[in-house]
Structures are given as structure tokens and as C-alpha cells.
Amino acid sequence: MQNILLHVHPLKVSEKSLTFHRTFGLGGIAALLIAVQIITGILLRFYYIPSPAGAYNSVVFLKHQVVFGQFVRNIHYWSGVFLLMIAFLHFLRVFFTGAYREGRRVNWLFGLLLLTIIVLSNFTGYLLPWDQLAYWAITVSTNIIGYFPFFGESLRMTIIGGKELNADTLQSFFAVHSALLPFMLLVLVVYHFWRVRKSGGIMLPAGQEKGEMLPVMPNLVYREFIVALVLMAVLFLSGALFNAPLLEKANPAYSMNPTKAPWYFAGVQELLMHFHPFFAAFIIPLGVLAFMALIPFLKYDQPPSGHWFISDKGKKSAKATAVFAVAVTLAGILFNAYVLNFEIMMPGIPAFISNGIIPLCILFLLMFVYHRFYHKRFRLSKEERVQAVFVFIIVAFIVLTLCGIFFRGKDMALCFPWNA
């Protein structure tokens, strides 16, 4: 056991890289959550039946007849939710400590791929209970794919194997969820870790002494062990206290009101309430993804600092941009819902223009004005400006997601969570 633990670690690590707030241990926590997902996933497969007739009943059987059935299902559910959140936080940590430059460019791309695979794992797993929540959330999200230009509808029909969700959809989602994605995840995670070691361990602040090199045993291994214990305690507690949701069996003739996409797509669904689908489901997500993939390949005028938020100026501009993003997103949601609806205001003009190009132009104009004003005053470096764009995207995404999850009630109208 000790041999394995030492084999996956380097012999010695810098004392600087042991500081908890360098990484918050997010990558390691994600790896452990993946292990939990695989173990509980295998356990669930002993009872789950992947067919519309059998799926729901097998989950109910698991809940009520199997000893610890509910508990195993809860752990699988919560570790899936946590994994997505932790992987997202890890992505933020890597960005804000500048650990995506020079030798780490390719690993940044693999990180994005891993994040995508984790989202897809959650998404394919969401359908499997075949209850009302699952059926309608996947119906709504796969219909969003149908709005991609040219190939959207055929892509949607390929993914779900028909015009509506059916037995084939469940069977393929099950195969992808329980075999293809876990396999890819395992291989890619190992590669992801290996590349970090090839880059000389985790990113450290530039211009500082590397510090004393300490043996990993016990310095790193014991720390990891403590984090793992705390994580397992949190996971078991969540699994014991909060049940994974399960509504009535899926009924294709009756939609839930409101029907919401899975929580991690609530931001895209919220965007769909405000933009023409071509923009909300295609142009904007694609643009964001392209920007994320391009970040390490831009030309920067300074070497990476490795400090959180680059510098003091970077910290200030990130904060100001976060405030700006919250204000613009909230104002956009409220104005569009109550004051300005371009599609209804301009009935003669196609929704593509009135509800797509016009609001997007207004958004870009606001960003441009903010940028001019801010950049003139603070003289930000290129790296700090890229960081500001990143902050804007992430904060807007979070605000949209929270709004979609908590502030949308009956008929998807805006309301407070306690009135929903």
C-alpha cells in the first residue's frame, strides 16, 4: 500500500507547494470523488435495469427493498454533484493562479476536456432513473441541441435515437454513462496528473525561493489522507441526511410545470429565456468555449506571476469586473422580463435580429464602455485584461445559473425561492 502511494508521488516536494491555499487540494479531491463515483456506480449496476419499463421500478426497489440501497444511491448522487462543483473550482483555481501558461498549455486543454466529460457524465446519469424530473430535464436540454444551425436537428435525433426520448435513448445513455465516460475519465485523469509532474509539480509564485524540499511521506501523504477523511465524512453525512430526488415515473404526455434543465445547464436555459435560441444555445456557448481554449495560446507581455489574481491591480480589477458582471446580468434579466422585450416590441422584425443581434450588441457596447473606462484608469496588462474577461464570463454564468435554479417558478416566471 505504501509502495503504491509512493509510486504515484514524487520523492520530495517543495514546502511551498504544501501550503493548503495554493491549491485547496481541489485536483486531489476531484480524483477521490471519481473513485467514489466508480465504486458506487458499480454497486448501483447490480440492481439497475436500463429500460423504460424497468428503470424506474428498479430504482424504487433499490430505495425500499435493498439494505443501504438508498444510501449508495445518495452517495453516488452527491459525489456526482460535488465532483462537478469541485472540478469547476479547480478550473477557477488553475486560471487565477496562472497555471495554464508555457509548459502547462496542453494540460489546460485536457483539463477542459475532463470538465466536459464530467458534465456529460452528470447529464447522461440524470436520465437513468426515468422519472418525471429526468425525462423532462433531458427532453428540454436535448431540444436545445436542435437549435444548432444546419446539423442541430439531426444531431439531436442521433443523440436520443429518435424524435422523442425512448428505449434506445435510455440504453445508449446507460452505455455512455457507465462504460465509455468512466473509461475515458480514468485514462485522462492519470494523464492529467502525469503532465503536472512533468511540468515540475504545481505552479508556484515566481520570484520566490522554492523552499526546502521535504519527503512526501509523511508531509504530503498525511495531508492528503486528512483531506480524504474530511471529504468522506461530508459525503457520508450528505448521503445520510439528504435523499437523491426521485419523482413519479416518467409520463411523456404530461410535462412538469416548471420544467427545468439539470442544474448545471440552468444558466443556458436562463440565457434561452432572453436570447434567440441560435445565440443562447450555439453562438454564446461556442464563443465562451473557444475563448477558454484559446486563453493559454494568447501572447502575453509578462511571464506568469503565479500569484493569485496575478497582482494587486489584477485583484482589484477582478473584483470591479465581478461587480460589473453581476449588475449587467441582473439588470438584463429584470429589464428583459419586465420592461424591455425586443421580440414583443418589434413584431415585424425576425426574432433572430430583435432578440439576438440587438441584445448582444447592447451587451458588447456595455462591455466596451466598461473596458475603455477601466483600462484608461488602471493601465492593466494583457494578462489582467484576459482575466477581466474571464471573470465577466464566469460571474455572469454563475448569476444566470443561480437565477435559473432558484428564481424561476411556475411557467418559468421570475419569483422568489420561497414563493416557488
Partner 1 sequence: MNRKNGLPETANSGKFSRRDFFGMAWKGLGLLAGLEALGMLSAYVFSGKNKQNPLSKQMQEAGSVNSFAPGSVTAFMGGRFYLARLQDGGFIALSLRCTHLGCSISWEENKKRFICPCHSSAFDINGEVLNPPAARALSYYPVLIENGIVKVDIGSLKERNSFRKDQLVYAQ
Verify binding: residue 158, partner 1, rule CB under 8 A.
Answer: yes
Count of residues that bind partner 1 according to CB under 8 A: 32
| CB 125 to partner 1: min, Å | 19
Q: Which three cell numbers stand for residue 27?
A: 485536483
Nearer to partner 1, 278 or 309 (CB): 278
Single out the segment in contact with partner 1 by CB under 8 A; choices: 55-63, 88-96, 160-168, 374-382.
160-168
Among 256, 346, 402, 415, binds partner 1 (CB under 8 A): 256
In the bound state with partner 1, the residue whose beta carbon lies nearer, of 142 and 305, is 142
For position 163 contacting partner 1 by CB under 8 A, the verdict is yes
| Phi, psi (deg, nearest 5) at residue 60 | -65, -40
268 touches partner 1 by CB under 8 A: no
User: Which of the residues 195 through 234 are near partner 1 (CB under 8 A)?
Assistant: none
Site membership for partner 1, residue 273 (CB under 8 A): yes
Site string for partner 1, 172-191 (x = CB under 8 A): x-------------------
Sorted by sequence, the CB contacts under 8 Å of residue 304 that are 6+ apart come out as: 98, 99, 101, 102, 203, 206, 383
- Binding-site member from 10, 161, 200, 205 for partner 1 (CB under 8 A): 161
What is the C-alpha R_g of the chain?
A: 23
Among 62, 118, 202, 272, binds partner 1 (CB under 8 A): 272
Query: Three cell numbers at 290?
Result: 473557444
Q: How far is the CB of 34 from partner 1 (least distance, A)?
A: 25
Q: Which of 136, 265, 374, 397 binds partner 1 (CB under 8 A)?
A: 136
How many residues can be counted in the chain?
420
Say whether residue 154 binds partner 1 (CB under 8 A): no
Buried b (16+ CB within 10 A) or exposed e, 255-268: eeeeebbbbbbbbb
CA distance 391 to 296: 16
What string of H, E and C letters represents the secondary structure of 300-342? CCCCCCCCCCCCHHHHHHHHHHHHHHHHHHHHHHHHHHHHCCH
Stretch that binds partner 1, among 59-67, 94-102, 256-264, 384-392 (CB under 8 A): 256-264
139 binds partner 1 (CB under 8 A): yes
Q: Is 82 in the site for partner 1 (CB under 8 A)?
A: no
* Residue whose CB is less far from partner 1, 277 or 314: 277
**131 is a site residue for partner 1 (CB under 8 A):** no
One residue of 6, 112, 157, 320 binding partner 1 per CB under 8 A: 157
The answer to whether 144 contacts partner 1 (rule: CB under 8 A) is yes
Q: How far is the CB of 139 from partner 1 (least distance, A)?
A: 5
CB of 251 to partner 1, least distance (A): 9
Q: Is 358 in the site for partner 1 (CB under 8 A)?
A: no
- Which of 79, 107, 124, 143 is close enough to bind partner 1 by CB under 8 A? 143
Residue 119 interacts with partner 1 (CB under 8 A): yes or no: no
How far is Cα 158 from Cα 311, in angstroms, rounded to an integer?
48
Q: Which of 51, 243, 259, 336 touches partner 1 by CB under 8 A?
A: 259
Beta carbon of residue 169, minimum distance to partner 1 (angstroms, whole number): 9
How many CB atoms are closer than 10 A to CB 47? 15
Cell output for 354: 430583435
For partner 1, the binding residue among 413, 414, 417, 420 (CB under 8 A) is 413
Smallest distance, partner 1 to C-beta of residue 359, A? 14
Q: What angle do CA 188, 73, 257 make, to 5 degrees?
A: 100
∠ CA 70-405-286, rounded to 5°:
110
Instruction: Provide the β-strand partners of residue 14.
Output: 213
Stretch that binds partner 1, among 19-27, 112-120, 165-173, 288-296 (CB under 8 A): 165-173
Contacts to partner 1 by CB under 8 A: 136, 139-140, 142-144, 157-158, 161-164, 166-168, 172, 252-259, 272-273, 343-344, 351, 411-413
